[in-house]
């Protein structure tokens, strides 16, 4: 009798475990169905069709990009390094920072760097992206009399609706393929390693000149450029990088 009772209890226990497992599996399946049917905002690590994050080329060319400026504490130092190294980069500026630092914005442009759009306030709400893109576009034209072409959403967050909205505004949604992770402030050696170790022909490098403390980025920038040049790389803006797409003729003279 005791053995039968123990066997019966084991059957109940196993049945409960099976029931719990079935519930978990069913929940995961339903969650997957829900995700597939949503207009899900995706992080940049999932390279979404229709975005620009690299070019296919055998040429050893790269684009340096900087987000979240212009910042009165750090952008000037970034520009000093780029000038010393004779490198042109693309700055994805925030409208609120451009409005507050118009002379610094003009310096970026006057020194031959490309100005791109990073929204106005760095809001992570996708429904605000297109509105902030437009607001920043108008502001940049007012300050520089130039139109921007490239837009990078805060956090690299994208969705089908964001992609469509950006395209309607005549912009190219631009992400990155080489993350320095300087936003983590892991130390200059780690930032250098993150970029140099993961670089490849046609890649777009993500760095920051604002948003947080950027002393580490400033310290890492010169060594990044030097080490990549030792490997035979050249640098250009995101616009110049597109000239090296394998389906287009190579224009070597534009890069330093």
- Tokens linked to 58: 């055998």
Which residue of the set 118, 179, 208, 209 is catalytic? 208
Q: Return d(Cα 234, Cα 231) in angstroms, integer.
A: 9
Alpha carbon of residue 49 to chain centroid: 15
The answer to whether 122 is a known catalytic residue is no
Q: Return d(Cα 167, Cα 162) in angstroms, integer.
A: 8
Task: Examine residue 70 and say whether the peptide bond preceding it is cis (omega within 30 degrees of 0).
Answer: yes
Q: Is the dihedral of CA 122, 126, 127, 129 positive or negative?
A: positive
Half-sphere exposure at residue 124, Cβ-oriented, CA atoms within 13 angstroms? 5
The answer to whether 169 and 149 are in contact (CB under 8 A) is: no
Residues 153/57/248/85 CA torsion (nearest 10 deg): 70
The answer to whether 90 and 235 are in contact (CB under 8 A) is: no
Which residue of the set 56, 67, 68, 71 is catalytic? 67
The answer to whether 171 is a known catalytic residue is no
Helix, strand or coil for residue 215?
helix
Annotated catalytic residues are 67, 208
């Amino acid at each position: 009798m005791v053995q039968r009772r123990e066997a019966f209890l084991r059957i109940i226990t196993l049945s409960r475990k099976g029931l719990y497992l079935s519930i978990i599996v069913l929940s995961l399946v339903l969650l997957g169905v829900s995700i597939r049917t949503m207009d899900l905002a995706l992080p940049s690590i999932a390279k979404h069709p229709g975005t620009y994050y690299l070019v296919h080329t055998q040429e050893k060319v790269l684009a340096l990009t900087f987000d979240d400026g212009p910042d009165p504490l750090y952008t000037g130092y970034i520009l000093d390094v780029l000038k010393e190294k004779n490198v042109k980069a693309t700055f994805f500026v925030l409208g609120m920072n451009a409005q507050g630092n118009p002379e610094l914005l003009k310096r970026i442009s006057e020194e031959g760097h490309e100005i791109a759009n990073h929204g106005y306030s760095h809001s992570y709400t996708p429904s605000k992206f297109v509105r902030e893109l437009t607001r920043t576009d108008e502001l940049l034209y007012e300050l520089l009399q130039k139109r921007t072409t490239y837009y990078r959403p805060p956090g690299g967050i994208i969705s089908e609706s964001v992609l469509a909205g950006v395209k309607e505004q005549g912009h190219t949604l631009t992400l990155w393929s080489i993350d320095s992770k300087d936003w983590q402030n892991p130390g200059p050696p780690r930032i250098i390693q993150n970029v140099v170790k993961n670089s490849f022909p046609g890649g777009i490098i993500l760095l920051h000149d604002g948003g947080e403390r950027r002393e580490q980025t400033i310290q890492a920038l010169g060594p990044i450029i030097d080490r990549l040049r030792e490997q035979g790389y050249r640098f250009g803006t995101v616009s110049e990088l597109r000239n090296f797409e394998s389906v287009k003729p190579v224009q070597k003279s534009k890069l330093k």
